[in-house]
Structure 1
């Protein structure tokens, strides 16, 4: 498994950091390791890594591009200021899952072939195994993983990895326009939670910001039958103040017993370039307030997915705010 992880050296971090006299950037004080096993010996609480793929998105007939997001996010994060409010010493930059061979195989597939989606799904399943083992190792060392995707298919590896490390199913809060509870067909970005639930890794599941226009009647019927799944519509947030939104989010956190994995699908954020970009959704400000609330709970992991930051520097910057908010110790 370690052969499928690209460990980022201090030189890589330095190349992405713009140093300036009289200031200390995040990247100048951030922690790195030279092997996955060395995570055991660092005191930092959080471990950041990327999953640069969009195969699961393509297998779900979505818009590709999420494979390009981790480096722009990392560059933005490394260039924030180290000060009394930002403590880079509490974060390890691990590196990224090596998805190159999977992406090459995906490109070689014939998109007109009737088995195209199925073949993509096989590649997704291989990535599942790598993400699962990586997350299981990180959590086993007592750390909290932060993953930047990549497609939402990687929620499966995040959930399974934490679940196996803790030896119990876990609860998950998903800020998302979609449920990703599609059927148990080939693996893709739309059925990660279905697989995690069916295989016993997912306990309670709460979707916050679900869009009425993109949820099938079949999914509503499914959720109505399951007492461990609840949701709150984005449409019911339209008239709410920021405080009222937090109150509604808190009901989801309480439903999950205040112990949860946090999924943030950028499809839920208005005008963020993503696999299913939306003109109506939460604002970046909304999401930052949500993270501020959730990070005070027992949070097993943070997974941010589906964004494409390759053509807009502001997207990488927005996601770097989400990360710095999540790991911030004050307030």
Structure 2
């Protein structure tokens, strides 16, 4: 059955590995940067303005996205002691010129790093990187991690290239060297057949995650970069549900397993997953096939489709976030 609305206090998680925020410095850069096609539109009087980026990535800019005090107040009210904050995927800017993407990433990452330094007990953060120029993405990842960020949130690829493509080798080498978190968070699917009834989000987003994860397995990328901590959004998309088909293909077709050192089901336990799933039956399947130690609490706050507050999980979020070295206490 569905988990429904708010979880009971006993089920709430003190950690959240999947949240989003836009610091004021990033908003100021967006307002001033004419090379990015940003538009603000008040669609209905009962909602916040919608922000459209480069003519296609529209979302409601809720106050919790941009007002630090409201974000932290919501965190406290939900009983979340520590959140991993990620840039908003709509602001990846992969479709912009690389110089624009890189400049926006620097502004965004520096602002998040400063916010984390102000609230080390409550916040960790991930960077955004210019995936449209992988060598620049590698440099920005290293720069951002030098400022205290834990890795990066990235899309499943850029343009027609998936992350297993040789072009992304500079970024993956840097991430592996620094044991970075790479959080795979897709944008809306652009398949023209599903551009209606919210299907780009409802089914397109988990599909993009599935495509990326399977490519990382089949291409041998997980073997080549074993120290990257891969985190898959939204419970890994459709990957856990279709593991039987992947296993059968691995057995039947030598070309499927040519770059793999283990079975697909073994690779399933090389990823981490958030538990943004809403349905206890699906959550149990993920726990069974991936292992409870790989499933972390997450919410996708403050988007409309957020599982708020995050459901509790058994995995050691403290270790995943590297909180052991910080002065830390759980909120009452």
TM-score by length of 2: 0.37
Instruction: State TM-score, norm by structure 1.
Output: 0.37
